[in-house]
Structure 1
Amino acid sequence: MNILITAPSLDTKYNVSGISSVVNNILTETDQNYIHFLVGKKDQQKRNMMWFLDQFILPFKFMYSLSKNKIDIFHLNAPLNTLAIMRDFIFLNIAKLMGIKVLLHLHGGTYLKTTPKNKWLYKYLEHYFNSADHIVVLSHLEKDLLLQKYKLKEEDITPIENCVTVPDIKYKKSHETARIIFLGRIVESKGVFNIVEALSQLSVRRSDFEFNLYGTGPDQDDVIKQLTATIGENFQYKGIVAGESKFGAYLEADIFLLPSLYGEGLPMALLESMSYGVIPVVTDDGSMATVVENGINGFIVDKNNSSQLCNLMDELIEKFNKSSIDILQEKARATIKEKYNCQYYSIKLNKIYEKIINEGADRVY
């Protein structure tokens, strides 16, 4: 089966992207003939004249790729943000006009939990959903949200949680100081400035912690500057990590921060960190609260509440110092091993592909 699948660059040198991580997993775990179609801009790329020119010719590249590769299914990975919806709906309609089946795979975004106030955008979004042959969401919560907000059929939406390969950890490195990390896109929506404020408050109380920042993004320089000024030697910026370097970062970490404000789906970094026994501290944005059980395998904090985040980190560092953090770490790892490993992911996805194809499609090349 020939499947055209969209994602930003799959190379972490150019994009720190949850969708790219998901697609890399799909390419590894699922036995299909995938062709990657590049969408989105690189992390450091500016929206200049060349970028706009690329966007103009992108639909023509898309049509050529569909025809050249004799595509059976177009697997559209899409965040529910205004610009992405406008762009991706063009691709979706081109595929439908060419008689190609479309799987719409949603990855969080502004309109996952928020309904558009503009009635025309709402109608546009509803038509966008109904134009796909099938929709994949990241949790049953997301399916319920779509059914509540839009006129969609329950049988046309399937939850498939993101998955990770659970490592066979022989040991966890011992260190005397609690290590806290953020790993991902360094942007305001991820709650990075709440992290800065919380760590600043924490540094007044104690100095027995380390904070390592991994990733890149538009707010990178500002965040690094503020952290350097407020917590000094307790902070290190580690840059972009991938492969063994990324897994090494998880292996040496104790607490993972992702106090996102909006736009999340089911972050790969959350699942990856928990699979290494790192305790997550997140908000209830997107589907994160379907993974993290407050006080059981991690913690859920309020959005935009740096004082609460500071107090929780203070408590966790105390637990670390008293060697009473192990149960939480084991619970975090067990959650991923039991519910979010990749053993069944490809089976579920292949069943959806087969369902779509069996409904029949008159392709036009």
Structure 2
Amino acid sequence: MSGNSILITAPSLNTKQNVSGISSITNFIIGNNSDTAYTHFELGRKDDEKRNLVWMLRMLKTTIRWMFVVASKKIALIHFNFALSKASILRDAPLVLFAKLIGKKIIIHIHGGDYLANKKAPGWMKFILKRVFSASSPVIVLSTAEQQIISEQYKTNNVHVLPNCVDLNEAKAFHRIYNTDAMLNLLFIGRISTSKGIEYIYQALKELQSQQVAFKFYMAGAGPDENEYVEKFSQLLGSAFEFKGVVSGLTKTNLFKNCDVFLLPSLFEGLPMSLLEAMSFGLVPVVTPVGSMKHVIKTGYNGILLNENPAIEIAAAIERFAAARELIKTLSNNAADYIFKNYDPAKYIISLQKVYDAT
């Protein structure tokens, strides 16, 4: 480990092992900030890992290893990716506090979580988080709304807004052809769990089938509810459903190129990398207004924000798209243009480096 290295935390960076937005943004940062030497510290559960005795022992081993690395290695700075969910707070807060205790410079990079906006943190959790966000350590958030939440709830002023970003070379080289006669291709890509709204998608597609709307649904990713929903969608849709598993590289790019609509009716989010990637390729996003997604999507301009009844509204949106294909073209072009204008990788790295330099 070099004396000028930055220790950055994330789950496995192997896309075959993990479907993780934090892993995606970490891969992006390491790949685009070649002037900085990073050391990855693996922290987080793999998709197929159960919370059992083996997992608890691995967490204990990880904690001991963290204390050894942070205390004994020459580290210029720690870039700690942190989600405001109960499991993440319980696992990660002690690690952050240990690093602070021994005087390490640390940046807290927040990536959504149900306690960021949707849930009110209990007293004991607020007590812990106030110490996590205390002192002069910078905090990175994904939107001005998140900046206000963190500043007001935890009384910290050193909060920087830095929305997630994605590589755009492939997307900029892609020219989408709109075939008004072809059926719609719908895509979900990410962690397959009920927290991502996968049941809303199931109910919406069930309704579309009853209305005899033609479509094909592609599901990619992995997660705790994978087996259940692969079976449910297979039984419901037959050949109109295709499960792709965990995808990366050319397989992932081709999925974006071949699909028309991106579905993510999630219960809570930060700013998903998959959303930004999908929009850059011209997929029309149909998503819930959670986390920072509501600051990216404007209904009727570059996508659809769902409201009270996600399943019903997804079905209605797809039915409308199938009947008015020019609408798809307009929203698609606006979605891609929005990403190209607002999510430049070079600007992202410059902004991140400024936070590093000021720490």
Return the TM-score normalized by structure 1: 0.92
Matching residue's letter, 1:312: A
Give the 5 Å matches for 1:339-358: 339-356=342-359
Q: Indicate the SS of the match to 2:233.
A: helix
For 1:58, the equivalent position in structure 2 comes to 62
**TM superposition shift of 1:110:** 1.2
Cα 1:303–1:21 shift into 2, 3 Å: farther
Q: Find 1:12's aligned residue among 1, 12, 15.
A: 15
**Distance in 2 separating the partners of 1:120 and 1:67:** 27
**TM superposition shift of 1:317:** 1.6
**5+ residue gaps, structure 2:** none
Cα 1:290–1:29 shift into 2, 3 Å: same
Deviation string 1:154-178 (CA, Å, 9 cap, x unpaired) is xx00000101122223432566111
**Distance in 2 separating the partners of 1:157 and 1:48:** 36
Q: Indicate the SS of the match to 2:282.
A: coil
**Distance in 1 separating the partners of 2:8 and 2:159:** 18
For the 8 Å contact 1:104–1:132, the answer to whether it is kept is no
For 1:32, the equivalent position in structure 2 comes to 36
Range 8-17 or range 166-175, more displaced: 166-175
For 1:267, the equivalent position in structure 2 comes to 272
For 2:162, the equivalent position in structure 1 comes to 160
**TM superposition shift of 1:335:** 0.5
**TM superposition shift of 1:150:** 2.7
Cα 1:81–1:55 shift into 2, 3 Å: same
How many residues align? The count is 351
Return the TM-score normalized by structure 2: 0.94
Indicate yes or no: 2:173 matched with 1:169.
yes
Matching residue's letter, 2:94: I
**5+ residue gaps, structure 1:** 357-365
For the 8 Å contact 1:191–1:304, the answer to whether it is kept is no
Indicate yes or no: 2:322 matched with 1:317.
yes
Cα 1:279–1:230 shift into 2, 3 Å: same
Q: Indicate the SS of the match to 1:105.
A: strand
For 1:281, the equivalent position in structure 2 comes to 286
For the 8 Å contact 1:138–1:162, the answer to whether it is kept is yes
For the 8 Å contact 2:83–2:89, the answer to whether it is kept is yes
For 1:363, the equivalent position in structure 2 comes to none
Cα 1:217–1:57 shift into 2, 3 Å: same
Range 285-294 or range 110-119, more displaced: 110-119
Q: Find 1:102's aligned residue among 106, 122, 127.
A: 106
Deviation string 1:246-281 (CA, Å, 9 cap, x unpaired) is 11100111000001112x000000000000000000
For the 8 Å contact 2:6–2:76, the answer to whether it is kept is yes
**Distance in 1 separating the partners of 2:309 and 2:270:** 18
Q: Indicate the SS of the match to 2:324.
A: helix
**Distance in 1 separating the partners of 2:283 and 2:192:** 20
Q: Indicate the SS of the match to 1:218.
A: coil
For 1:242, the equivalent position in structure 2 comes to 248
**What's the C-alpha RMSD, in Å, of the aligned pairs?**
1.6
Q: Indicate the SS of the match to 2:139.
A: strand
For 1:211, the equivalent position in structure 2 comes to 217
Cα 1:37–1:170 shift into 2, 3 Å: closer
**TM superposition shift of 1:93:** 1.9
Give the 5 Å matches for 1:111-260: 111-131=115-135, 133-153=137-157, 156-166=158-168, 167-172=171-176, 176-260=182-266
Deviation string 1:195-223 (CA, Å, 9 cap, x unpaired) is 00000000111242111111111111111
Structure 1 moving runs of 4+ over 6 Å: none
For the 8 Å contact 1:17–1:185, the answer to whether it is kept is yes
Matching residue's letter, 1:244: L
Q: Find 1:307's aligned residue among 312, 318, 332.
A: 312
For 2:337, the equivalent position in structure 1 comes to 334
